[in-house]
Amino acid sequence: MMTMPNPSDDLRLLHVHAHPDDESSKGAATTAYYRRRGVKVLVATCTGGERGDILNPKMESPENQSRLPELRREEMAAAAKILDIEQTWLGFIDSGMGPDVDPDSFAAQDVSQAAGRLVKVIREFRPQVVTTYDENGGYPHPDHIMTHKITMAAVDAAADPDAWPEHGPVWLVTKVYYDITLHRGRFAALDRAMHSAGLESPYTDMLAGWEETDEDRARITTRVPCAEYFGVRNDALRAHATQIDPDGRWFAVPLEIQQAAHPSEDYQLVRSRVSVNLPEVDLFAGVIPGQPLGAWLTRADRS
């Protein structure tokens, strides 16, 4: 049975993302789902996306390219308003997608030192649940991989009284999830639904060379039933106008087909300080604010 968060419980969810727009393309419907239930949500954005490209041809111009960092901050503010969230910048510099990263970029930083900025956020916000990317970054962008590294380091350090004492009292995160919403099973379901409706699918070619193993499928421990908020997610995505083509494949599948074909956003529970019954439909399952928490239950402990 699903555990419905109560606004009076003071539940808090922290999403850690690499760039502005990641919070809208990954887990935004989950965010809206929990916000409507009174959960406080904070997005920590590691970089400003300064070295990104303009991916919407309608926004391509020398003027927009020259002020891209400013534009991306404006877009982030607009998306945060749509999602009704708090948002903070960790202040690292975008690494870009090239084979080499500049010494000042996020991906070139020392993990243990870079994690300190997120430790401060965790101790001040005190989230019970944190989401981030897996070891591969969800996809192998150097900033996404670094986001994974500093998140896991910061969760550990935030609970260590000897680490970063200047950042306030320790805080023990109850559950940590990897966001794996953008997995093959989801796109395959959308592809089948489009063909069944007699429509051209934008994902057929992409799926042709994409293998999914039983292990990949088994990673999904938690499916948040947030289809009602896919429209909010789409609005937040469109707010990132330099990054999202409104006529592109993100929006090619009608909303009602998306809601019927794959009505969840999906996660892998990788750490929990509370007992869990998998699979779940709630990131906060087992979380009772104020109750003493037990020892870590790692993925290996649960298997």
How do 129-132 and 12-17 pair as beta strands? parallel
Q: Copy the structure tokens of residue 207.
A: 């799926």
Which tokens sit at 91?
Answer: 């202040």
Q: What distance in Å separates the CA atoms of residue 86 and residue 95, rounded to the nearest whole number?
A: 24
Quick: pLDDT tens for 187-212.
999 999 999 999 999 999 999 989 88
- Residue 75 has phi, psi (to 5 degrees) of -65, -40
* Non-local CB neighbours of 234 within 8 Å, separated by 6+ positions: 250, 251, 255
Would you say residue 16 has pLDDT above 80? Answer: yes
CA distances from 132 to 36, 96, 195 (A): 21, 19, 33
Q: What sign has the CA pseudo-torsion 102, 104, 105, 110?
A: positive
* The pLDDT value given to residue 20: 97
pLDDT band at 291 (very low <50, low <70, confident <90, very high): low
Instruction: Please give the domain boundaries of the chain with CATH numbers for all domains.
Output: 7-181+219-302 (3.40.50.10320)
CA torsion, points 116, 118, 121, 125, in degrees to nearest 10? -130
Residue 1 pLDDT class (50, 70, 90 cuts)? very low
- Does 303 have pLDDT greater than 80? no
Q: What is the pLDDT of residues 165-178, one digit of tens each?
A: 999 999 999 999 99
Q: Say whether pLDDT at 236 is over 50.
A: yes
What mean pLDDT value characterizes the chain? 91
Q: What pLDDT is stored for residue 181 in this prediction?
A: 86
* Residue range 234-252: mean pLDDT, rounded: 95
Confidence of residue 88 (pLDDT cuts 50, 70, 90): very high
Burial (Cβ within 10 Å: 0-12, 13-18, ≥19) of residue 289: middle
Question: Using an 8 Å Cβ cutoff, are 143 and 45 in contact?
Answer: no
The answer, yes or no, to whether residue 101 has pLDDT greater than 90, is no
Amino acid at 162: D
272: β partners: 175, 297
pLDDT tens-digit readout, 109-166: 999 999 999 999 999 999 999 999 999 998 889 999 999 999 999 999 999 999 999 9
User: What was the pLDDT predicted at 96?
Assistant: 86
Confidence band, pLDDT 50/70/90 cuts, at residue 100: confident
What pTM was computed for the model?
0.92
Beta-sheet pairing, 40-47 with 12-17: parallel
> How far is residue 248's CA from residue 275's CA, in Å, rounded to a whole number?
42
Q: How far is CA 59 from CA 27, 41, 72, 89, 285, in A?
A: 25, 30, 12, 24, 42
Asked if residues 56 and 108 have their Cβ atoms less than 8 Å apart, the reply is no
Q: Is the pLDDT of residue 290 over 90?
A: no
Q: For position 104, what pLDDT does the model report?
A: 93
